[in-house]
Amino acid sequence: MRNKRLVNYAKYGYFFSIPFILTFCIFTLYPVIYTFVLGFTDLKGAGNTEWHWLPSVGKNLFTNFTDVLTSKTFHKAFKNTWIIWILNFIPQIGFALLFTAWFTDRRSKVKGTGLFKILFYMPNIITAASMAILFQKLFGYPVGAVNQLFNANQPYNFLINEWPIKLIVAFVQFFQWYGHTMVNLIAGVIGISPEIFEAAEIDGANRVQTFFKVTIPCIRQIMLFVLVTSLIGGLNMFDIPQLLVGAKAANGAALTTNMYIRNQAFDGSYLYNRAAAASVILFLVIVILSAIVFYILRDKDEARLKKLRKQELRAAKKGF
Amino acid sequence: MANEVKLHSIKKNETALKVVIYVVSIFFSIMTLFPFVMLICNSYKSTYEVQASTLSLYSKEPLKNLAFNWKQITSKDAFHPGVGFRNSFIVATLSTVLNVYFSCLTAYAITAYEWKLREGFNAMIMAVMMIPGTVTMIGFFQMAYKIGLVNKLSALILPSIAAPMVVFFMRQYLQASLSMEIVQSARIDGAGEFRIFNQIVIPLMKPAIATQAIFAYVGSWNNLFSPMILLTDKNKKTLPVMVSLLNGDIYKKEYGAIYLGLLITVLPLIVVYAFLSKYIVEGVALGGVKS
């Protein structure tokens, strides 16, 4: 009965989805396909919109892709992106977990957690562009705040050496995101049934045991969510390295893949085709990594479901 | 006796742990606030004073310096905070309205109606959440160039009608909170489907809308990558793009002016955050649990 009535309204389902589908096709799907196509063409030059397939101008169809994949600059950018992401993610998840453990601990009841949460989250809403330039000034040479605080007599020029640059970019990323991660994790912990913690307490588990054996397994899903979103964000890193030091500082110490793509397309020779090929490569990397993480996620859920179903079957058999 | 000693040592450990927690938390709070304090206390200094000491709060003639710095940043034909504000305001406001309204509509279409392609559509939304902005950007720029969308703010506004992440969130919310009985009874009362959506479903979704609207607004306001590529006309630039100009050579020697320019771009966000921080933090939490 109910189903029948809903079927009558089915056309509204299509009708209400039209704006989304139209916009999506025009502004996402078409450009994505266009980007893919451009990867196989000879399109370059500022303002140029005319292109030819590579084979028709006597080149291998995959020239752009092989150019990108064999480019030393691209290798460097790809490596940098990973290094900076890892340098930011490990302390980020580490401190987020530590604060989560402290702020949700039932036994020590820390006061002022609300205020700390709000403060730690604040850097996340500030424009990354402003943040990058601010930190550039703070680490400035010879009169930046950091130099004045720690080495007033022998100021150190942080922003011309490879590893200091990488560490500072990673630090600004960390600074912007650890509060966000922490708030996500705390929400996960609050969602855990208090009975589980009570049971652990009665069984004599200490704080550390409770955290590692009860809390962390319970928020595994959220940790994976944080990992995936951070990974995608990290591989698309642009604002902070671009404005903090730019692509050329210390021989490209902070050059990320997104900066590489933008530089190919909009600087110098306007190699749209090569930029398109590079972004397709980046896209494939993200898809593969996300697929792996989602596979891990889904597998566990299904395994659990299967187990439940088996138990139900067994119970049903017993009933018979 | 032994028990008492043990209790005593546990209590001592407890206090020690609390001290560590507070020390570390306060250290992080200071670390968070330090850059912003620096920003404020250098915005009213002269270049000479900034060079002499970035850390000091003191300035000989703060008001005069403030006026001078303001003149410096606005006179150079690149950084027009007023124009940047107006453009960012237009883009962020309109994108947020479109983003949230149409995401609700799409989520409602998926949740309330049974149509043939529904499952497929839903799966597609989940899949396209992964597409990074860069991949669309090169093709999008070429398209925009062809159909004359370069230097048009609408190129930044219209795409927000299709926001897969927000649709996903709204759907989660609707599945938990929408009862079809209300919709049915409104139908019996003779309300059209579109009116039901606008007058019953939208009010029902207010908490989710508030959360997502804040994020959409902040996200749009802070976006640098696509405006930087699409907007070349200096009268069309958004605030983050203007901020990036502060980095250029023309301001190299104007230390105080750069700090003031940054402060102008950061201050509105801090003021808004001061009022909405509770909802923002709770909103993140909501997203975290749902995901």
**Domain extent listing, chain B:** 2-66, 76-252
Q: Give the C-alpha distances (Å, rounded to integers) separating B24 from A116, A142, B270.
A: 11, 30, 24
CA dist., res. B277 & res. A17, Å (int): 33
What residues in B contact A3, CB-CB < 8 Å? Answer: 114
From chain B, the residues in CB contact with A135 under 8 A are 35
Interface contact A258-B117, CB threshold 8 A: no
The residue of chain A nearest to residue B142, with distances taken between CA atoms, is A49
Taking the C-alpha atoms of residue A208 and residue A202, their distance in angstroms, rounded to an integer, is 15
**What domains appear along chain A, each with residue ranges and CATH number?**
73-270 (1.10.3720.10)
Q: Would the CB atoms of A137 and B33 count as touching at under 8 Å? A: no
In this complex, which of B140, B193, B239 lies closest to A31 when CB atoms are compared? Answer: B140
Judge: B108–A265 Cβ closer than 8 Å, yes or no.
no
What is the full DSSP assignment across B243-265? HHHHTSGGGTT-HHHHHHHHHHH
Contact A196, A214 (CB under 8 A): yes
**Cα distance from A311 to chain B (closest Cα, Å)?**
27
State which H helix or E strand residue B164 sits in.
helix B164-177
Asked if B285 contacts B77 with a C-beta cutoff of 8 angstroms, the reply is no
First to last CA, chain A: 33
Which residues sit opposite A41 in a β-bridge? A53
CA-to-CA dists, residue A17 to A126, B111, B113, B115, B128, angstroms? 34, 11, 11, 11, 15
How far is it, in rounded angstroms, from Cα A89 to Cα A228?
11
Nearest chain A CA: its distance from B160 CA (Å) = 8
- A108:B138 CB<8 A: no
Angle, helices A10-24/B118-128, rounded to nearest 10 degrees = 30
Q: Which of A95-109, B49-63, B79-93 has the lowest mean pLDDT?
A: B49-63
Q: Which residue of B has its CA nearest to A129?
A: B240
3-state secondary structure chain A: CHHHHHHHCHHHHHHHHHHHHHHHHHHHHHHHHHHHHHCCECCCCCCCCCCCEHHHHCCCCCHHHHHHHHCHHHHHHHHHHHHHHHHHHHHHHHHHHHHHHHHCCCCCCCCCHHHHHHHHHHHHHCCHHHHHHHHHHHCCCCCCHHHHHHCCCCCCCHHHCHHHHHHHHHHHHHHHHHHHHHHHHHHHHHCCCHHHHHHHHHCCCCHHHHHHHHHHHHCHHHHHHHHHHHHHHHHCCCHHHHHHCCCCHHHCCCCCHHHHHHHHHHCCCCCHHHHHHHHHHHHHHHHHHHHHHHHHHHHHHHHHHHHHHHHHHHHHHHHC
Inter-CA distances, B36 with A250, B259, B266, Å = 28, 10, 9
By Cβ distance, the residue of B35, B106, B133 closest to A236 is B133
Q: Are B45 and B65 in contact (CB under 8 A)?
A: yes
Chain A hits for B54, CB-CB cut-off 8 Å, are 137-138, 140, 143-145, 148
Contact A14 B117 (CB under 8 A): yes
Whether residues A24 and B162 touch (CB distance < 8 A) is answered with yes
Out of A108, A120, A280, name the one closest to residue B32 (CB): A120
- CB atoms A137 and B121 under 8 Å: no
Q: Find tokens 């039209």 and name the residue.
A: A18
Q: How far is CA B127 from CA A290, B130, B220, in A?
A: 10, 6, 22
What mean pLDDT is reported for chain B?
84
Give contacts of A30 with chain B, Cβ < 8 Å.
139, 143
Angle at A116 between CA B224 and CA A237, to 5 degrees: 25
Regarding predicted confidence, which is higher, B249 or B196?
B196
pLDDT digits (tens, 9 = 90+) for B112-134: 888 888 888 988 887 787 777 77
Q: Is the CB of residue B95 less than 8 Å from the CB of residue B157?
A: yes
CA distance B280 to B273: 8
Task: Report the complex ipTM.
Answer: 0.82
What SS3 state is found at B59? coil
Closest CA to A166 of A256, A92, A231, A230: A256
On chain A, the residues whose CB falls within 8 A of the CB of B247 are 133, 136, 243
**Which residues in chain B have Cβ-Cβ distances shorter than 8 Å to A190?**
285
What does the buried/exposed string (b/e) look like for A58-92 if buried means 16 or more CB atoms within 10 Å of the residue's CB?
Answer: eeeeebbbebbeebeebebbbebbebbbebbbeeb
| Contact (CB<8Å) A127/B38 | no
In tens, the pLDDT along B149-189 reads 889 999 999 999 999 888 988 888 888 888 888 888 998 99
Cis amide bond preceding B227, omega within 30: no
Q: Judge: B116–A119 Cβ closer than 8 Å, yes or no.
A: no
- Please report the pLDDT score of residue B286 as a whole number: 67
In chain B, the residue whose alpha carbon lies closest to the alpha carbon of A245 is B247
When pLDDT is averaged across residues B245-272 and rounded to a whole number, the result is 80
CB contact at 8 A, B233 and B148: no
Q: What pLDDT does residue A1 have?
A: 44
Residues of chain B contacting residue A208, judged by C-beta atoms under 8 Å apart: none
Give the pLDDT confidence score for residue B43 in this predicted structure: 87
| Cα torsion B269, B273, B276, B282: sign | positive
pLDDT tens for chain A, 320 residues long, are 444 444 468 888 899 999 999 999 998 899 999 899 999 998 887 777 788 898 888 888 899 999 999 999 999 999 999 999 999 999 999 999 999 999 988 777 888 888 999 899 999 888 888 888 889 888 988 778 888 888 778 888 888 889 999 999 999 999 999 998 998 888 888 888 888 888 988 898 888 888 888 888 888 878 887 888 888 888 888 889 998 988 888 888 999 999 999 888 887 778 889 999 999 999 899 888 878 877 776 656 666 777 777 777 777 766 55
Q: What mean pLDDT do residues B259-274 have?
A: 85
The class of domain B76-252 in CATH terms is mainly alpha
**Which H or E run contains B131?**
none
Measuring CA to CA, which residue among A28, A128, A79, A86 is closest to residue B134? A28
Nearest chain A residue to B137 by CA: give it. A31
- Please give the helix or strand (H or E) that residue B12 lies within, else none: helix B2-43
B128 contacts on A by Cβ (under 8 Å): 24, 28
Phi, psi for residue A41 in degrees, rounded to 5: -120, -175
Minimum distance, in Å, between the CA of residue B52 and any CA atom of chain A: 8
Q: Which of B39, B26, B35 is nearest to A172 (CA)?
A: B35
| Residue indicated by tokens 């993610």 | A89
**Contact of B44 with B251, CB cutoff 8 Å:** no
